[in-house]
Structure 1
Amino acid sequence: MSTTTVTPARSAGATFSPLILACLAATWLVWGSTYLVIKYALLSFPPYFQMGTRFLVAGGLLLAWTRWRGTPLPSARQWRNALIVGALMLGGGMGGTAVAEVSVGSGLVVAFIAVVPMMIALVNLVFGIRPGKLELAGIAVGLVGVLMLTQGAGFQSSTAGLIAITVACVTWSIGSVLSQHRLPLAPGASGFASEMICGGAVLLLLSLLTGEQPQWPPQPVAIAAWAYLVVFGSLIAFNAYMVLLARAPAGLASSYTFVNPVIAMLLGVAIGGETVTGFEWSAVAVVLAGVVLLVGARR
C-alpha cells in the first residue's frame, strides 16, 4: 500500500481509479472468503485470541515495512486515534464477529453485517452527510437481497451470538465514520499498521479477561487458516477497506457487505458441497443489482 497521505475523495474520478478498483476487489473477494476461514481457525484458536494475534502480527509486519521505507512513526495523537478506532473496528467489530461465529451460522453472520451501510449512513448524518437517492436505493435493494439469502438457507442462532454480531456492526460503523471525520490516523500504511497493533492489543486484553485458552498444539488446518487471515484478511483486505474509507464514498466502501454473502454462498457450493436453490440464485441477482445501483450513484 502507498504511504502517501490519504484524504477523503470528493470527485467521481477518484472513486473509479485503479487503486479503488483493486481495493474493491480485495474487500469483495477476500473478505467474502474469511468467514469460512474464521470457522477453521476457531478449531484451535478462540475468538479474541485468534483476532488479537492476527492483527498484532499483521500490524507489526506492516509497521516494520513502513519504517524500512523511511516513513516516520505516528505521532502521540495519531496513536491515540489508532487506539480508539482500533478498539471500535477491531476490538468490537472483528472480535464480535468471531464470537458470533462460535454459536451462530455463518450465513446469519454475513447477512446481519449487511446492515452496516445503513448504520454508517445514520452515523454520517451527525456530520451533515446525506446519501443520494440512488445510493440509498442501492443500499435498500442490497439489504433486501441479503435478507432473501437468509430465507433460503437453514441456520441456527443464539442470543449471545446475536448480541455479539449486533455490537460488532455498531462499533465497526462508528469506528469507520470517526476515522473519516474526527480521528484521523497517520498517513497511509503506518496509520493502518498502528490501528491493527492497537486493535490487536485490545483484543488480546479481551482474550485475557474472558479466560480464553487456545488449543495446543493447534491443528494444522487452524494454523493455515490463521496465516490466511493475517496475510489476506488483515494485510490486504483490511488495508484496502481503510483506503476505501479515505478515498471513496462511505456507501461504496461498504459495498462489500452486499457481495460477501454471494462469495460465501459460492464457496459453500464449491467447497462444502451445498445445494443452492433457484430462490437463492434470485437473491444473488438482487444483491448484485444493489451493488450496481450503489456504484452507479457515484459514477
Structure 2
Amino acid sequence: MSTTALPARRAPDSFAVLLMVGLCAIWGFQQVAIKSTNAALPPIFQAGLRSAIAALLVWGWARSRGTPLFRDDGTLAAGLLAGMLFAGEFVCIFLGLTLTSASRMAVFLYTAPCFTALGLHWFAEGERMRRVQWLGIFLAFAGMTLAFADGFLHGAPARGTTLAAVAGDALGVLAGIAWAATTVVVRATRLAHSSASKTLFYQLAVSAVVLLALALGLGQVHVDALTPLAIASLAYQAVVVAFVSYLVWFWLLTRYVASRLSVFSFLTPLFGVSFGVLLLGDSFSLRFLMAAVLVLTGIALVNAPGKR
C-alpha cells in the first residue's frame, strides 16, 4: 500500500463529535444484543446473517439514491481487501472468545485505535499525529485497560491452559489489527474517493460470504430457539449497527481526519459496561469512573487544536 493523495479532511467539529458518541453508544449496546442472540444462533452464523441483511439494506439504499455500486471505478481490489479484513476481524473475535475471557478480548481488541493512528500516520496524508496526540491515545488506551483490569486479571486462565489463552489473546490483537487495517485501507486507497454506501457494501457483501461459508464449514448453520428477543436483537445488529451506524461511520471518514475519529472508539467498551449496569444488573467501581476520566482526557488531547 502506498501513500495516496487524498482530499483534505478537517478535524472533527461538534457535529462529528456528537455523531461519534452516538455511534459508540450504539456499538456498546451491541454487546448486549449479541448475548441476547447467542442462545438462538451460533456466533459466526449470527455475524454472517447480520452482514447479509445489512448488505441488502445498503443495496436498496444506494439504489433509491441513484448511487452506483457496481460501476468500475478502480476500487475493486481495495474493496475486496477491506471486506476480507472486515470478515477476518469477526472471525478472530469469535474464535478468540472460545479461548480467552471477554474482558481480556476487550483489552486486546481495543488496541485498534493505536494501530489505526500508526497506520494512518504512515500511509495517509493529513493524518500525521503530534506528540500530544500520541499521549492522548496512550491515556485513552490506559483508561480502557484500567476499566477492564479486574476482569483481565480474574479472567487469567488456570494452569495448563496458558497456551490456549495466549492464542486467544493473540487473536484479540489480530482482530484489532484487522479493524485498524480496514480503516487505513478505506482512508489511504481509492476507496477514499468512493461513496460511503459502496465502501460499506464491499465489506458487508464480502464478509457475509466469508462468514456464512465458515459457519457452514464449522457446522454452525442452525437455529436453536428463535425467540422474539433474539429476532429483535438480530434486527438491531443488522439494521441499526451494520447498516445505519457503519454507513454514518464511513460517511464521517470521507469528511474528517480518521485518526481523530478512531480514538472515540475507546468509549465503546465503556458504553458496553454502562449498558450492562443499567440493563443486566452488572456492578461497577470507582476504578471504572477513573478509567472513564482517562479515556475522555485522551480523546480531548487527540482532538485538541494544534498551534498555528
User: What is the TM-score normalised by the length of structure 1?
Assistant: 0.86
Match of 1:292 among 297, 300, 307: 300
Q: Is the 8 A contact 1:100 1:164 kept in 2?
A: yes
Deviation string, structure 1 residues 90-133 (Cα, Å, up to 9, x no partner): x1123322333455443333332221121112223432653112
Verify: 1:205 aligned to 2:203, yes or no.
no
CA distance in 1: counterparts of 2:200 and 2:67, whole angstroms? 13
CA distance in 2: counterparts of 1:45 and 1:182, whole angstroms? 36
> What does residue 4 of structure 1 align with?
none
Q: CA RMSD in A?
A: 2.5
Change (3 A) 1:166 1:266: same
> Which secondary structure does the structure 2 equivalent of 1:135 belong to?
helix
Number of residue-to-residue matches in the alignment: 289
Change (3 A) 1:221 1:9: farther
Match of 1:165 among 163, 168, 172: 172
CA distance in 2: counterparts of 1:56 and 1:21, whole angstroms? 29
Change (3 A) 1:296 1:214: farther
Deviation string, structure 1 residues 12-45 (Cα, Å, up to 9, x no partner): 3xx2163x24531332110111122222222222
Change (3 A) 1:251 1:258: same
CA distance in 1: counterparts of 2:36 and 2:49, whole angstroms? 16
Q: How does 1:1-299 map to 2 (within 5 A)?
A: 8-12=7-11, 15-16=12-13, 18=15, 20-76=16-72, 77-89=74-86, 91-102=87-98, 104-127=100-123, 129-153=127-151, 154-155=154-155, 158-184=165-191, 186-297=194-305
Q: Is the 8 A contact 2:95 2:171 kept in 1?
A: yes
User: What is the TM-score normalised by the length of structure 2?
Assistant: 0.83
Change (3 A) 1:283 1:22: closer
Question: What is the one-letter code of the residue matched to 1:110?
Answer: A
Change (3 A) 1:101 1:8: farther
**Identity fraction in percent:** 24
Q: Is the 8 A contact 1:44 1:215 kept in 2?
A: yes
Question: What is the one-letter code of the residue matched to 1:146?
Answer: M
Consecutive unaligned residues in structure 2, runs of 5 or more: 1-5, 158-164
> What does residue 3 of structure 1 align with?
none
